[in-house]
Copies of this chain bind each other. A is one copy, B any other.
Amino acid sequence: MAIADILFGRPLATKEERAEKIGPLAGIPIFGLDALSSAAYGPEAALTLLIPLGAAGVAYILPITAAILGLLLILYFSYRQTIAAYPAGGGSYTVARENLGDGAGLLAAAALMIDYVLTAAVGISAGVGALVSAIPGLQQHTLAICLSILLIVTVVNLRGVREAGVAFMIPTYLFVGCLFIMIGVGAVKALAAGGHPVPVEPLPRMPPTTAVVSLWLLLKVFSSGCTAMTGVEAVSNGVKAFREPTAPNAQRTLTIIITILMVLLGGIAWLASVYGIGATDPVKNYESVLSMLLRAIAGRGVFYFVSIGSILLVLSLSANTAFADFPRLCRIIARDSYLPHSFASTGRRLVYSNGIYILALLTGGLLTLFGGVTDRLIPLYAVGAFMAFTLSQAGMVRHWMRQGGGWHNIVVNGTGALATGITTVVVLTAKFLDGAWVTVLLIPLMLAVMIWVRRHYDAVAAETATEEGVDFRDVQDPIVVAPIAGWNKVTQGALRFAYTLSNEVRAIHISAGDETEDLFCQSWTELAVSPARAAGLPPPKLVVIDSPYRLLLTPILHYVLQVEEENPGRQIAVLLPEMVERHWYHYFLHNQRAEILKAWLLIKGNQQIILVNVPWYLRA
């Protein structure tokens, strides 16, 4: 296990679970990376759609950002209440399901799952976008860099939540620090220059105007800008990960995250408009808006590269929010039997490994499909998030109505539900043809799968349900069948164990018909029959089956089925000796045959046939 230990950290005993709890300082990077880092692609996504309006279009970013900040504030108050009301973890799924019913819950779940995959994909692609802005020669390797970063994030997350927090804390605070300095210096320069500062370095010229402004265009700009809000719900999903008192710690974390995010979004939009910085073509000679802003304000010096470095790190690792929350969400859904129960098992380091694998696969697929270009991913984004926001807030309204939580609470969450509901419709309409239709297709598909899984579990439960007690009449010893390849201590142990189960033991030996076989059969009396007689037990019966082509498994399988047929009602216990290795690399050397026989017996067998693994421990 040594290699796995280095990669994923030593396995944690389940007891250590309590220690893996975090406070706000660690909570901001873990649950805030997505929200904060979206400052780096949200404004840019909006500005990209303003390109056709030319240099004059940049000014529209200010009113649109104002609308986005207003919406963000509404969301903040809504989610503060959710955290307080659901200290055990109030994800959209839980809140919608408990208050609005299973259907709404599943809808929220599907929307969120899609959203997390996009969070991971957009985070990574935008991070690589920052990198290729600084080093244009790397642009042709965009996809390869994206996938490498995905691999690193996956491995870090398989190590477990606390280490992931530590690994991401420094870049997050560096990122926030750099952007605050940029906004501060930029603000001073802008004010000193009377609102018309001169860039330190020449910037790419905006292309000429090719369109006129329209309400439709502004709606699309707003919809794209809304991607800056994704990730706000992360804290409320993960309340349980915080240390006591969990709810206040989580609320404090949310407050800090939202405050920072609003400063970043507002600052970037304002500086972009005063410097006249628009977006560039996302594929050819791409340079990110933040890269241009940094160059305009501070030039291409040490600060520029430190900032770009922190943006690269934070953006690509913002995928971590998805990696922290997606498996948690899957676990909650799996507990309600809408996803396979294996999603609810914790892995080596108390993280939900299955969820991580699935997320890594989907994200990798999406990045490959879209060549790692953020602009192509944006239209798919935000629909899921806002759908989940709406369901969650609507659920909270219902929650207060039931609980009698007071008008104040209902108004806060009602406003949230209304605002996000309208935004969902706007985003879906504005970006339907650009890619949002994928989400519209995926969600019913995911609903169908989740319902199918639940139906299956329900059917199994119904099939096995009973109110009756055990029928202990006519309990008979099983017939024990022990396949025996030759004489050794494993055989000895298996035969002795066989007699602890039953006095009716049959050893089955597959013979290729050569001399050593005759010797084996002759020694049988001495090795097994006589000792059994001496101990007063009925001796084991030796069944020798000729197999000229050296087939092993088929004759054993047939024999077991035949014994089962000849003894209706009797249980047949098949002994399968199993070598237990001391090193994982020994695994490939043993037990393959026993595994195949076991699988065959399960497939071809029936309720009467029981498989008994008799372990043999090899010395180290």
Residues of A within 8 A of B (CB): 13-15, 17-18, 340-342, 345, 453, 456-457, 460-461, 463-473, 475-478, 487-490, 492-493, 495-497, 499-502, 526-528, 530-532, 534-535, 537, 549, 551, 553-554, 571, 573, 578-580, 586, 588-590, 592-593, 596, 598, 602-603, 605-607, 609-619
Contact = CB atoms under 8 A, between A and B. Distances in A.
Q: Which 4 A-B pairs have the closest CB atoms?
A: A472-B535, A342-B592, A464-B488, A469-B527
B341 A593 contact: yes
Given A501-B478, A609-B615, A618-B460, A528 B487 contact: no
A573 B478 CA distance: 14
26 contacts: A14-B553, A15-B551, A15-B554, A18-B549, A341-B590, A342-B593, A457-B589, A460-B579, A461-B488, A463-B619, A464-B616, A465-B489, A467-B487, A469-B526, A472-B535, A473-B535, A475-B499, A475-B537, A478-B497, A497-B610, A500-B502, A580-B603, A598-B613, A606-B615, A607-B617, A612-B613
Given A342-B592, A598-B613, 5 more contacts: A341-B592, A469-B530, A470-B492, A475-B499, A497-B610
B500 A477 contact: yes
A590 B618 CA distance: 30
**Total identical chains:** 2
A451 B468 CA distance: 59
A501 B573 CA distance: 10
Contacts of A15: 551, 554
Nearest to A570: B500
Contacts of A528: 469-470
Nearest to A496: B470
B13 A527 contact: no
A514 to B, nearest CB: 14
A467 B520 CA distance: 11
B466 A487 contact: yes
B496 A471 contact: yes
B610 A612 contact: yes
Contact of A607 (B469, B487, B571, B615): B615
Nearest to A503: B475
Contacts of A606: 615, 617
Contacts of A553: 14
